[in-house]
Amino acid sequence: MTPAILVTHLFTGLVLGMILVLLAVGLSLIFGLMTVVNFAHGSFYMLGAYLGFFLLGLTGSFWVALALAPLAVGVAGLLVERVLVRPLYGRSLDDPLLLTFGLSLVMIETARLIWGRIGVTFDPPRELGTAVSLGFTMFPVYRLFVIGVTAAVLLALWVFLARTDLGLVIRAGSRDPLMVQALGVDLGRIRFLVFGIGTLLAGLAGVLAGPMRGVYADMGVTIVIESFVVIVVGGMGSLAGAILAGLLIGEVVSFTTLFAPKLAEIMVFIVMAVILLVRPSGLLGEAGLLE
């Protein structure tokens, strides 16, 4: 096993981990504040990829597609929260879970009707279509760009949540929503905003993943399961845990694909089981989220 192969898979796992982190952070935000298990999250990821493909064909600019597609997905998420999810607040966890599961199926079939059953592909911009030397091997510039964009988005999200009044309200609402409401905060608007941010992150992940993984209607099915594994491993409600676990799961998938490809799909669940045996609340889990 040469150093070039190991470095290549290390960075490949980092790229996959970044995509998982974007999805898992969105899921964790929504669950942490709203206690909604959003099974449609993978379909919003798929929608972002298809909208990126559509906007690239319409405008000829990858940068326009990268800017507008996540915003469009975020707007779609706002509509879903307002029309479908909001009436279910205060009811059993099963109700929004079943709703979003059904919504995901509708979105998948709608994508097939619009874009067909055969997947599509689109290329990154020409300036990102080359490769750069990492010392031991060459690595695509676009994948390094994905790492950089994700890191910048996570930094901006941290600043928003930790350094702004609205971010502090969101964090407080995830821990004690009744107290936040008692202080006169309209929690409905906060939930509305958080659901939009979560789906926007899923759409961004879809656009970034499109040139690497292709675009097809079922692309969100497997990755949303891996994203749920990430938030369970990291700890329900912990954004830092979601980031740590996303990077860990990305590397696990990458190196398992290298050494034992047939085990790649189940290794993430083995890792989850081992971690939960040692730490039932996850790596950085917050106790009492569901109480």
Q: In order of start, what are the domains of the chain with their CATH numbers?
A: 3-278 (1.10.3470)
Average confidence score pLDDT of the chain: 87
Share of the chain above pLDDT 70, in %: 97
Total count of residues recorded for the chain: 291
Q: Give residue-wise pLDDT tens across range 260-278.
A: 888 888 888 999 999 989 8
Report the candidate in 32, 18, 27, 14 with the shortest Cα–Cα distance to residue 152.
18
pLDDT of amino acid 102 = 93
Between the two ends of the chain, the Cα-to-Cα distance in Å is 49
pLDDT of amino acid 114 = 92
Query: Quick check: 253 and 25 in contact, CB under 8 A?
Result: no
Report the candidate in 268, 5, 280 with the shortest Cα–Cα distance to residue 137.
5
266 vs 7, higher pLDDT: 266
pLDDT of amino acid 287 = 54
CA 119 distance to own-chain centroid: 21
From the CA atom positions of the chain, what is the Rg in Å? 19
Supply 14's token pair: 């980092």
pLDDT of amino acid 286 = 60
pLDDT of amino acid 236 = 78
CA separation for the pair 265, 246 (Å, rounded): 15
pLDDT band at 241 (very low <50, low <70, confident <90, very high): confident
Q: Which H or E run includes 205?
A: helix 187-213
Q: Give residue-wise pLDDT tens across range 95-143.
A: 888 999 999 999 999 999 999 888 888 888 888 888 888 777 788 899 9
Q: Which H or E run includes 138?
A: strand 138-140
pLDDT band at 244 (very low <50, low <70, confident <90, very high): very high
Least confident of 54-58, 149-153, 195-199, 222-226: 222-226
Average pLDDT over residues 23-51: 88
User: Among the ranges 75-84, 93-102, 131-140, 228-237, which has the highest mean pLDDT value?
Assistant: 75-84
pLDDT of amino acid 272 = 92
pLDDT of amino acid 291 = 47
Q: At what angle do helices 3-34 and 187-213 cross, to 10 degrees?
A: 160
Q: Give residue-wise pLDDT tens across range 170-209.
A: 877 777 777 777 777 777 888 889 999 999 999 999 999 9
Residue 290 pLDDT greater than 70, yes or no: no
Please spell the DSSP secondary structure of 62-85, one letter per residue: HHHHHHHHHHHHHHHHHHHIIIII
Q: Give residue-wise pLDDT tens across range 48-65.
A: 999 999 999 999 899 999
Q: Which residue reads 């502090």 in tokens?
A: 168
